[in-house]
Amino acid sequence: MKPFIYIFLFSLFTVSCHSQTKTSERPVVGGPCEGCEAIYEYGERLLASVDTLPNFTTTEPKLRISGKVYHMDGKTPAANVILYIYQTNRAGLYATLGNETGWARRHGYIRGWIKTDKQGQYTFYTFRPGAYPGGTEPEHIHITVKEPDKNEYYIDDYVFDDDPLLTDKKRRAMSNRSGSGIVQPIEKEGIFVVERNIILGLNIPDY
């Protein structure tokens, strides 16, 4: 009888441990995301709901990107969500100064971070990026999201509705992660204003 009891107890222990491992594991939200860890590279700065990217004052056309971040219901504002954006310069290059470290060596120095306020609001001041040399991709601004209780993940790039490179085929291919990234620039007092609201979890795998 004793060998049977030992085998039974060993099997029970193994199944129990395996079950706990499965239930404690959490899937990675959003799937693979090369470079998303750059969202942590803001260093010691205290993040606010507004940020101004490098070269904003000297580059045209200027952009003000703003909106609100909502929880999955599309109604409840999401506070303390970090947004990280990076983009090309007007020549379509991820410009570097030569002293970059980490992901800045790939993303360049034209990048910024904000943390949403209590109303979920955010604003970036930047300029319209140039398309990649060769003109195969629309002008775009990359964006990564970090919620307080989830891993970082990317959402659809900001792209511009009036960009001739944003073809119907490319529009149909968009995943609409956290909602559409297509924005319509409207000129107001010398700056082009775009608005984009973000819905956390919308069309995000394993959310």
Averaged pLDDT for residues 52-64:
98
- If we measure between CA atoms, which residue out of 163, 199, 207 comes closest to residue 72? 199
Q: For 74-125, what is each residue's pLDDT tens digit?
A: 999 999 999 999 999 999 999 999 999 999 999 999 999 999 999 999 999 9
Per residue in 9-36, pLDDT (tens digit) is 444 434 333 333 333 356 799 999 999 9
Coil, helix or strand at residue 111: strand
Check residue 2 and give its pLDDT.
Answer: 44
Predicted local distance difference test score (pLDDT) of residue 26: 64
- Per-domain residue ranges of the chain: 35-199
Pick the closest to residue 204 from 185, 178, 182, 186 (CA basis): 178
User: What token pair was written down for 195?
Assistant: 């608005």
Tell me which CATH code domain 35-199 carries.
Answer: 2.60.130.10
Higher-pLDDT residue of 32, 3:
32
* Residue whose C-alpha is closest to residue 196's, from 150, 147, 155: 155
- What's the pLDDT at 24? 39
Tokens of 203: 């069309």
Give the contacts of 39 (CB within 8 A, at least 6 positions apart): 82, 84, 113, 144, 145, 146, 152
- Residue 25: per-residue pLDDT: 59
| pLDDT score of 5 more than 90 | no
In this structure, how many other beta carbons lie within 10 angstroms of the beta carbon of residue 171? Answer: 13
Q: Name the pTM for this structure.
A: 0.87
